A and B are shown apart, each in its own frame.
Chain A
């Protein structure tokens, strides 16, 4: 608000344009969500689906209600939540590390999550009381461990972007090789199961996972709101942000934990879905700029759009089967990114 009233006329129109972009992409996301719920290998009638969606008890065919409510809705919502989480996590990772190549995966969180999952699949471990939560809990725990490793190193050597990137990449390689070791030890059928987990698939989405990951996303967004100005300032560089009164190490630490929570919450249930966390922030930044007040929601919207779009594409690619969505996200997102790089007029990093 302050920026628009203080700015010159061109600045004002730019601000309006940014809000228009955000509005347009949110509208597009809404359409994509609707399309994802309408499309499926059962080829249900559009009106039946809408009827089952709006008024489940009044629908004539219980099969339609089951398909819409127990199968399609959780998958669509999970795609939305995972995409939004990774989008926000990605943009914050790029902000605190000052690096356009950073993503939630740069620091090894996903590799660690994959290792945790692979380990439980290999040994067939089961948690007491909540056996269906074993793999997500293990993935979450391993991701937290990676987070603590990076944090510990940064704590000792100083919380700078360079130290965190180096420690993160070392962690990434460590967990990747541990993951490969588990795969090497696994029998073929178990290996298949591990590989399928690593691909990332919406098949694992349930209402339960929607609630958990959704809550994590909302809590993290709420935690980020007070820091929006500071994060915008941080993009000017550590020194300038510090001169503006930002406690840079404290901010970096705080956001780092939020990012690891977001990433773990997203990948624990559906497996490692890469790429979204790298690309969604760039798409958002190209269209709306650096102001975090609008960049955060835009990254969430683009992340969601990429994931829901990938979900639609995977259904259209092979109706009936389930092409792991992690494979499709890159296929859908890369052309999009190329187009923006080729047509973009501004420098966006």
Chain B
């Protein structure tokens, strides 16, 4: 009887203290980009970050990573190597963050993730989908999971993701400012294109990871396909490949594009790939672009004859600053409508205002200036 009574009392006490402590810490309710409502601590300072490392910096400010305990390091160091090095140079602490592995490669380590004791996990939508049931295990371990999505490449999801991260890191005003300026920049591009006259230029975009010998992937709907559509171009890959895939060389030639964009990146050990990014010299990039001009049938292409062959940084899509790449592509297609817009300067301004580093390197260039 007595023991039962004390057990009950103890249980009451425990639940009471738990309520008190959670009331003390406080939680807020957020809605993520998948329309999930999640309770997260209102002063989260042990964050697990799956992706969108630069956007997290932009929203959280210079000290953003003080609140981070674990990241999916391969998704940063492995995929955008020069970018990672540039950030580590200003913030060596990044090196000491717990690495939870990479979701796509199947190396995500749930035990490491839980052991790093995060109070909230911010994942990309593609990571959330790929993890499947594992998300439930994180939640069962008391780690709320919220989902951001810049990959969707829509203004709506960009804004929602930015405001979401802003709420979690306690930077609501800064997030609002970023989201508003992003939406305004895209709206401005759309307004200028709506006013511009002339036919929609025909555009071909190719991922430059294979070199000129073989046709690389082009983008149908998402990614660069979406950016080209927004920039007022006719994407020749639209309706031909669903997400990505190479086009038939003769189709590319016969489509006679007005402009060609090669998407470059900082791939390691790819001696023929179009190399771009932090710390890459523009002449290196141009040297890698040159062989593409020698492809069969390219000499007669409008884009080549008019010198409209460009390279854009592949890491530029799916970010808060991708509006600058949108501006760049739109300016190539409608030079008069964007005469007073300097996309590279806008990119520099974004970095200067929100980021701890400046974009030194090659991010958007024309083959021949």
* Candidates A124, A184, A319; contact of B251 at CB < 8 Å: A319
Q: Which residue of B lies closest to A62 (CB)?
A: B300
B254 contacts A189, C-beta separation under 8 Å: no
Give the shortest distance, in Å, between A17 (CB) and chain B (any CB): 40
A63 contacts B270, C-beta separation under 8 Å: no
Q: Which residue of A lies closest to B220 (CB)?
A: A321
Q: What 4 A-B pairs come out closest when comparing CB atoms?
A: A124-B269, A42-B254, A70-B296, A320-B240
> Roughly how many angstroms separate A124 CA and B253 CA in the complex, as a whole number?
28
Counting CB contacts under 8 A, is B51 at the interface? Answer: no
29 A-B Cβ contacts within 8 A? A40-B248, A41-B248, A42-B253, A42-B254, A63-B253, A66-B253, A66-B300, A67-B253, A71-B248, A71-B249, A132-B213, A185-B105, A186-B105, A187-B74, A187-B79, A187-B105, A188-B104, A189-B79, A189-B209, A189-B267, A192-B217, A193-B210, A196-B246, A204-B214, A319-B251, A320-B248, A321-B240, A321-B245, A322-B247
* Candidates B105, B209, B240, B253; contact of A319 at CB < 8 Å: B240
Tally chain A residues at the interface, Cβ within 8 Å. Answer: 36
Q: B182-226 vs A: 1/0 string, CB under 8 Å?
A: 000000000000000000000000010110011101000000000
* Candidates B207, B215, B236, B250; contact of A40 at CB < 8 Å: B250
Q: Which residue of A lies closest to B78 (CB)?
A: A187
Give the shortest distance, in Å, between B122 (CB) and chain A (any CB): 20
Contact partners of A185 in chain B: CB under 8 A: 105
Q: A117-131 vs B: 1/0 string, CB under 8 Å?
A: 000000111100001
A42 contacts B300, C-beta separation under 8 Å: no
> Roughly how many angstroms separate A189 CA and B106 CA in the complex, as a whole number?
15
Interface residues of B in 57-110 (CB under 8 A from A): 74, 78-79, 104-106
Binding site for B on A (CB under 8 A): 40-44, 62-63, 66-67, 70-72, 123-126, 131-132, 184-189, 192-193, 196, 201, 203-204, 315, 318-322
B247 contacts A320, C-beta separation under 8 Å: yes
Contact partners of B250 in chain A: CB under 8 A: 40-42, 67, 71-72
Counting CB contacts under 8 A, is B26 at the interface? Answer: no
Q: Which residue of B lies closest to A72 (CB)?
A: B250
* Candidates A66, A124, A125; contact of B296 at CB < 8 Å: A66
Contact partners of A125 in chain B: CB under 8 A: 269
Counting CB contacts under 8 A, is B241 at the interface? Answer: yes
Contact partners of A66 in chain B: CB under 8 A: 253, 296-297, 300
B246 contacts A203, C-beta separation under 8 Å: yes
Contact partners of B106 in chain A: CB under 8 A: 184
Counting CB contacts under 8 A, is B268 at the interface? Answer: yes
> Roughly how many angstroms separate A285 CA and B104 CA in the complex, as a whole number?
46
Counting CB contacts under 8 A, is B272 at the interface? Answer: yes
How many CB-defined contacts (below 8 Å) exist between A and B? 99
B270 contacts A42, C-beta separation under 8 Å: no
> Roughly how many angstroms separate A189 CA and B210 CA in the complex, as a whole number?
10
Q: Which residue of B lies closest to A183 (CB)?
A: B105
Q: B295-306 vs A: 1/0 string, CB under 8 Å?
A: 011001000000
Interface centre among A192, A204, A321 (most CB of B within 10 A): A321
Contact partners of A72 in chain B: CB under 8 A: 250
Contacts known (A124-B268, A203-B215); A320 close to B297, Cβ less than 8 A: no
Contact partners of A196 in chain B: CB under 8 A: 246
Task: Kindly list 16 other residue pairs between chains A and B, CB separation below 8 angstroms, not including A320-B248, A321-B237, A321-B248.
Answer: A41-B250, A41-B254, A42-B250, A62-B300, A66-B297, A66-B300, A124-B270, A132-B213, A184-B106, A185-B105, A187-B74, A188-B105, A189-B79, A203-B246, A315-B248, A320-B237
Contact partners of A320 in chain B: CB under 8 A: 236-237, 239-241, 247-248, 251
Counting CB contacts under 8 A, is B335 at the interface? Answer: no
> Roughly how many angstroms separate A318 CA and B241 CA in the complex, as a whole number?
8
Q: B227-264 vs A: 1/0 string, CB under 8 Å?
A: 00000000011011100011111110110000000000
Give the shortest distance, in Å, between A305 (CB) and chain B (any CB): 22
A131 contacts B297, C-beta separation under 8 Å: no
Counting CB contacts under 8 A, is B271 at the interface? Answer: yes
A70 contacts B297, C-beta separation under 8 Å: yes
> Roughly how many angstroms separate A270 CA and B105 CA in the complex, as a whole number?
26
* Candidates B104, B239, B247, B254; contact of A63 at CB < 8 Å: B254
> Roughly how many angstroms separate A184 CA and B209 CA in the complex, as a whole number?
19
> Roughly how many angstroms separate A63 CA and B296 CA in the complex, as a whole number?
9
Contact partners of B246 in chain A: CB under 8 A: 196, 201, 203, 321-322
A203 contacts B272, C-beta separation under 8 Å: no
Contact partners of A193 in chain B: CB under 8 A: 209-210
Give the shortest distance, in Å, between A342 (CB) and chain B (any CB): 35
Contact partners of B254 in chain A: CB under 8 A: 41-44, 63, 67
Q: Which residue of A lies closest to B269 (CB)?
A: A124
> Roughly how many angstroms separate A225 CA and B247 CA in the complex, as a whole number?
41
B267 contacts A203, C-beta separation under 8 Å: no
Give the shortest distance, in Å, between B291 (CB) and chain A (any CB): 11
Give the shortest distance, in Å, between A85 (CB) and chain B (any CB): 21
Contact partners of B297 in chain A: CB under 8 A: 63, 66-67, 70-71
Give the shortest distance, in Å, between A119 (CB) and chain B (any CB): 12
> Roughly how many angstroms separate A63 CA and B299 CA in the complex, as a whole number?
10
* Candidates A131, A188, A315; contact of B272 at CB < 8 Å: A131
Contact partners of A41 in chain B: CB under 8 A: 248, 250-251, 254
